[in-house]
Structure 1
Amino acid sequence: MKKGKRFIALALMVLLVGISITGCGGGSTSTGSPDSGEKVDKAKETLIYAQGAEPRGLDPALVDDGESAKVMINIYEGLLQYNKDSTKVEPSLAKKWDVSEDGLTYTFYLQEGVKFHDGTDFNAEAVKFNIDRQIPPQATPDMAYGSFVYGSVKSVEVVDNYTVKINLTDPSTPFLNNLAMVMSAPMVSPKALQDNNNNVNQTPVGTGPYKYVSWAKDENIVLVRNDEYWGEKALTKNVIFKFIKDNSARVVALNNGEADMIDGIDATVVDQITGAGNKVFQAPGMNINYMAYNTSKAPFNDAKARKAVSQAINVPELVDSLYQGYSETATSILPTFMEGYDKSITQAAYDPAASAEALKAAGITNVHIITYTNPRPYNAATGQALAEAIQGYLSKVGVTATIDSFDWTTYKEKIKAGDYDICFYGWIGDNGDPDNFMYLLAHEDPTMNVARYANPEFNNLIKEGIKAPAGPERNKIYTELEKIAAADAAWLPISHAQTLAAYRPNVQNFLYHVTGVTPFAGVSKQ
């Protein structure tokens, strides 16, 4: 960190220590100019959000996890953004756009006078720099989301300082929605990328309502309001993302006033939270919680073996037990409200007798499971609890499951290495389009396609779905993709979680967006 940033970080942390001493227990310190007559309540100047795991990084091209997204949404902006209540796209850094009749050219007209946090200009050259970075030949293997957002992009042209054209190889129905995502789509300062060897995971520079100040490993990330922001400025001066891995410890922090908002809560703590006078944010979730088989090696390169294990698991019973009404049993990959969902699709039915017979015939007596220790938005019970429940079901059909558990960052590396038979994962929809879910099983990156599933028929249908115009015929493609996935049993879909978070009663306008991010510009404390 440069010397100037060290000073800013130190000064802010001194301020925040004062806040924690005077404000966390509900009190506050008011200060002001003797002549102004104004008083400033310092406790109201800082929002503290406690989350269950640390971000992997803060470069939108190089991360793919929700913990990172919650921070990045406050630092960066894309050409487009989602409406606060849906995935309907709205203008952001692009004030308007045109689409050619053949669907192959998108022309964006940019906001003028916008600055990155480092003082450099946002313009058409910056847009081209950000997109070119994530498409061949510049794209690198660690840009997991690049193909989601820019897979159809052929080239980017700078028309003038505030007009840019994006040319596609094929029509792409989800393209506009993709440009509002918090992964890959946000604009990063080209100067910051050049200064930091094309990686700003630790030095993020965007155009958003908050600026990055510091990151204390295993403790917190501190942001400060961007007072030069081009749009409506944030209401609260400081935001701290605090990392508290244990669910119960986060609840205690909320109830004690040491945190203003928390995530990763489950049914077991709702009464404890509301009993202390705090509030619960609850909404339908656009997500899937699933178990994945490693289809790239024996024994689960055989669909019959995958189906046999799935038959050992009573999914409705498991969901009721673990989530106690705050998740619904998943019968397919897509959430029930998404285009392409078909209620007739079913997974391998619970049949422990058939499972035991098939597993014995296949000689499967042991499986290696890996899982994560922290809560996730799609699995508030933690990966550990879910893995242990599966372990119990497998023991009843004569299979011993060995579980290795890891913190989230390490878990991602273990997934990449591929040393497992079964793993647990999930997905929060980024853009409201069914392709965003189903493409996971066609992705070449093993940290996205954790089942390492490869089916040419499936992959060809994915390509058709991207190009197909919105409507019933396109929906049929995604229904067919669901049917193929269910027949091949690469995943065992488990549940769709409700979005749950909690906040103190003096927090105003708290929002946990359907895409799993937490924008704080409009949030304040009374």
Structure 2
Amino acid sequence: MAVAASAALTAGLTACGSSDTSGPSSDAGAPQSGGTLRYGLSGAPTCADPAQSGSNQTIYVARQVVDSLTDQDPETGALTPWLAESWDVSSDASSFTFHLRDGVTFSDGTPFTADSVKKNFDAILGTLTAAKAALAASYLAGYTGSTVVDPQTVQVNFAAPNAQFLQATSTVQLGFLSDADVAKSAEQRCAGDLSGTGPFVYESYVQDKSATLAKRAGYAWGSDVFAHDGEAYLDKIEFTIVPESGVRSGSLASGQLDAVSDALPQDAPQIEGSGGRILTTSNPGVPFGFQPNVTRGVLADPAVRAAIVPAINRQELVDTVLGPDFKPATSTLASRTPDYTALSDVTYDPDAAKKILDDAGWVPGPDGIRAKNGTPLSFSVTFSSVFAGNQAILELVQQQLRQVGIDLRLDLVSTAEQTARQGTKDYDSTYYNSTRADGDILRTAFGLDGRNLNARGPIPELDEVLAAQLRTTDPQQRGELIERAQQLILDNGLWLPTVELSQAIGAASAVQDLKFEASARLQFFDAWLSE
């Protein structure tokens, strides 16, 4: 299967709305090199290592330092060359052969070769382990090793068909580090001072505090998705952490920052009043929602999980907290994900929610909260402020659930603590989203061989559907399986969706061509600063 044909393994992305394109202002002129872009992150970059990166704020930094074998066109979803000039896929999608570009080097001066691919992939399932690099490990499900055919050719092998792998090679988690960095421990890799092949290099990195990237001199192997060849335009990117939304927008309006994350609706007037604009795109993948621990507390009752879905007024969440650039979730996949299907069950109907609870024996008490056999209908949700709107969204959900007799308790923790508690499954429910432009994200989140934060046991039909989409190379058949998986996940109460995440980036008028890649993360390679 040649490079053009192999793109059929990934479906096209649906179009998404945007309040502003990321292109240049009409009077900005031709792109010019130089300058430092000062960027305000809403949360800390938690790890310099791309394989261990998870949050958008972390990926915004790591994506600029590493390249991937392929890239994914954000408009069409087609896979295009990057570090691999072409590739061949076996008929059963269990073996992938990549033909690499010549002349690519890491920023420490060492060459990028087929052996680099092998060592990086081996480390993800060895040195790092799935606990440290959960997403990267899920992309390598069934990995049996890589064969170095020659210095510029590598064959990546799996024990069984792995149809999602080709799209996974476009992700930041499967980006590449030098041999010296691959040999480091997981903790050392998180601390920074890493060498990638990307258009920027780490000039400084203080874990959980700040990062400064500098242009990589001599970079000449950009993705086919990039708008220009050669080096990046910007000399530097300075990332600082500014958790408060109002402070971020104020710093942008006053000229202290050039661009900021998570520009919420209340920030727009100040940003636009100073001549700036809001750049938006919606995230593919799993939308924000509750993942219940089905072995613990009242959420072990399927009726409770079923009642929560119609009890949530998703449109009110968007209208009240987020604004028109966001969408209510309508499935267990976000609408921009290939093979997304809207589910009629994801609708607001509080009367239906009350009937489900009535039929299951949950009786309203004098305070309005239901109970059954002396147990109040109460559970907690563990969440972090990795997205600036999370707390306000959950406070409103808390009010909505109370109207049908459910007591929701909010448990705000640090991102690190949420990750740790997800690892031990120490929660009633956990609230998050997960971004990827491929429906296999459902296997990663809900499969028994994935994260399985539901702590569930076997569900034969769902388990078979998730496994079948992994071994199915026909795009139509795979799409049908992914559509079925979305319904089964909802039917079994494994995901209780709320809203779709959108990236809303505030940018000053001088910032040109700051772009989103296919997974809605920022790509700074084409960005430049006008006078």
Q: Do the aligned partners of residues 323 and 454 (structure 1) sit closer, same or farther apart at CA in structure 2, a change above 3 Å counting?
A: farther
Counterpart residue number, 1:434: 439
In 2, Cα distance between equivalents of 1:163 and 1:48 = 39
Map 1:484-503 onto structure 2 (within 5 A). Answer: 484-503=488-507
Counterpart residue number, 1:177: 167
- 8 Å CA contact retained: 1:312, 1:355: no
The equivalent position to 2:455 in structure 1, one of 452, 468, 485, is 452
Q: Do the aligned partners of residues 291 and 195 (structure 1) sit closer, same or farther apart at CA in structure 2, a change above 3 Å counting?
A: closer
The equivalent position to 2:391 in structure 1, one of 384, 388, 404, is 384
1:236: Cα distance to partner? 1.1
Task: Find the residue that maps to 1:342 and give its secondary structure.
Answer: coil
Counterpart residue number, 1:515: 519
In 1, Cα distance between equivalents of 2:151 and 2:104 = 12
- 8 Å CA contact retained: 2:89, 2:96: yes
Task: Find the residue that maps to 1:200 and give its secondary structure.
Answer: helix
1:486: Cα distance to partner? 1.5
1:442 partner letter:
G
1:504: Cα distance to partner? 0.8
Q: Deviations over 1:40-63 (max 9, x none)?
A: x99x52111111101220212223
Counterpart residue number, 2:219: 229
Counterpart residue number, 2:296: 297
- 8 Å CA contact retained: 2:422, 2:453: yes
Counterpart residue number, 1:424: 431
Q: Do the aligned partners of residues 79 and 293 (structure 1) sit closer, same or farther apart at CA in structure 2, a change above 3 Å counting?
A: same
In 1, Cα distance between equivalents of 2:76 and 2:157 = 27
Counterpart residue number, 1:314: 313
Task: Find the residue that maps to 1:320 and give its secondary structure.
Answer: helix
The share of aligned pairs that are identical, in percent, is 22
Q: Do the aligned partners of residues 253 and 453 (structure 1) sit closer, same or farther apart at CA in structure 2, a change above 3 Å counting?
A: farther
- 8 Å CA contact retained: 1:58, 1:68: yes
Q: Do the aligned partners of residues 402 and 282 (structure 1) sit closer, same or farther apart at CA in structure 2, a change above 3 Å counting?
A: closer
Counterpart residue number, 2:381: 369
Task: Find the residue that maps to 2:190 and give its secondary structure.
Answer: coil
Map 1:70-85 onto structure 2 (within 5 A). Answer: 70-83=60-73, 85=75
The equivalent position to 1:396 in structure 2, one of 396, 403, 407, is 403
2:234 partner letter:
T
- 8 Å CA contact retained: 2:46, 2:208: no
Q: Do the aligned partners of residues 197 and 503 (structure 1) sit closer, same or farther apart at CA in structure 2, a change above 3 Å counting?
A: closer
1:265: Cα distance to partner? 1.5
1:281 partner letter:
L
- 8 Å CA contact retained: 1:47, 1:240: yes
1:51 partner letter:
L
1:525: Cα distance to partner? 0.6
- 8 Å CA contact retained: 2:71, 2:82: yes
Q: Do the aligned partners of residues 335 and 468 (structure 1) sit closer, same or farther apart at CA in structure 2, a change above 3 Å counting?
A: same
Q: Do the aligned partners of residues 219 and 256 (structure 1) sit closer, same or farther apart at CA in structure 2, a change above 3 Å counting?
A: farther
In 2, Cα distance between equivalents of 1:454 and 1:428 = 25
In 2, Cα distance between equivalents of 1:461 and 1:223 = 43
Q: Do the aligned partners of residues 515 and 333 (structure 1) sit closer, same or farther apart at CA in structure 2, a change above 3 Å counting?
A: same
In 2, Cα distance between equivalents of 1:339 and 1:513 = 15
- 8 Å CA contact retained: 2:73, 2:517: no
Task: Find the residue that maps to 2:491 and give its secondary structure.
Answer: helix
In 1, Cα distance between equivalents of 2:131 and 2:411 = 27
1:121: Cα distance to partner? 1.8
In 2, Cα distance between equivalents of 1:140 and 1:265 = 33
1:368: Cα distance to partner? 2.2
In 2, Cα distance between equivalents of 1:46 and 1:213 = 13
Counterpart residue number, 1:263: 261
In 1, Cα distance between equivalents of 2:463 and 2:524 = 38
In 1, Cα distance between equivalents of 2:502 and 2:240 = 23
1:444: Cα distance to partner? 4.6
- 8 Å CA contact retained: 1:120, 1:189: yes
1:82: Cα distance to partner? 2.2
Q: Deviations over 1:178-207 (max 9, x none)?
A: 101111x11111112325578411132211
Q: Do the aligned partners of residues 455 and 368 (structure 1) sit closer, same or farther apart at CA in structure 2, a change above 3 Å counting?
A: same
Task: Find the residue that maps to 1:133 and give its secondary structure.
Answer: helix
Q: Deviations over 1:302-344 (max 9, x none)?
A: 2112123444333333333222322222221123354433335
Map 1:62-101 onto structure 2 (within 5 A). Answer: 62-83=52-73, 85-101=75-91
1:471 aligns with 2:483: no
Counterpart residue number, 1:354: 355
The equivalent position to 1:272 in structure 2, one of 270, 273, 285, is 270
The equivalent position to 1:201 in structure 2, one of 190, 193, 204, is 190
- 8 Å CA contact retained: 2:303, 2:356: no
In 2, Cα distance between equivalents of 1:146 and 1:277 = 40
1:493: Cα distance to partner? 0.9
In 1, Cα distance between equivalents of 2:526 and 2:68 = 18
Q: Do the aligned partners of residues 78 and 255 (structure 1) sit closer, same or farther apart at CA in structure 2, a change above 3 Å counting?
A: same
- 8 Å CA contact retained: 1:311, 1:355: no
- 8 Å CA contact retained: 1:149, 1:178: yes
Q: Deviations over 1:339-396 (max 9, x none)?
A: 433335423743353366343353333322222234x2xxx52x21122112212333
2:162 partner letter:
S
Alignment RMSD (CA, Å): 2.5
In 2, Cα distance between equivalents of 1:110 and 1:75 = 19
Unaligned runs of 5+ in 2: 1-31, 222-229, 364-370
- 8 Å CA contact retained: 1:173, 1:467: yes
Count of aligned pairs: 475
In 1, Cα distance between equivalents of 2:499 and 2:211 = 31
Counterpart residue number, 2:147: 157
Map 1:20-59 onto structure 2 (within 5 A). Answer: 45-59=35-49
In 1, Cα distance between equivalents of 2:509 and 2:313 = 39
Map 1:210-221 onto structure 2 (within 5 A). Answer: 210-221=200-211
In 2, Cα distance between equivalents of 1:396 and 1:99 = 53
In 1, Cα distance between equivalents of 2:186 and 2:516 = 33
Which range moved further: 408-417 or 235-244?
408-417
Unaligned runs of 5+ in 1: 1-40
In 2, Cα distance between equivalents of 1:100 and 1:366 = 51
Task: Find the residue that maps to 1:346 and give its secondary structure.
Answer: coil
2:354 partner letter:
A
- 8 Å CA contact retained: 2:219, 2:231: yes
